[in-house]
Amino acid sequence: MKVVITEDKLYNVFSKFMDSDYDLSYNIRSREFIGKNNHPFGWLNGTVFMYGEMSDQLILEGYFGDKTSKLLLMYLRDRFPDAPINFIE
């Protein structure tokens, strides 16, 4: 049996996962993305998002595979429109 998951559905699953597991906020002054319990999820270097810890990147890639960077870019742009993100490192 073949199961097809549309990109829209995958993005919805990703968004719900990020909201429930990370609940990110963005500090515009320090350009940091902070998760639950003040966990440093990442920061902006110019317009490039950099992960705060490799383990977060590995967890997301374990769940979402090679679509992770694209999904994270879409999510961060939607959730934080004031953060000038053009690329995920």
- Integer Cα distance of 49 and 60 in angstroms: 15
pLDDT value at position 12? 96
- Integer Cα distance of 8 and 86 in angstroms: 20
* pLDDT of 1 strictly over 80: no
CA torsion through residues 10, 11, 14, 15, sign: negative
Q: Beta-strand (E) ranges in 1-89?
A: 25-27, 32-34, 40-45, 48-51, 87-88
The answer to whether 42 touches 52, Cβ cutoff 8 Å, is yes
Instruction: Please provide the average confidence, as pLDDT, over all residues in the chain.
Output: 93
pTM of the model: 0.90
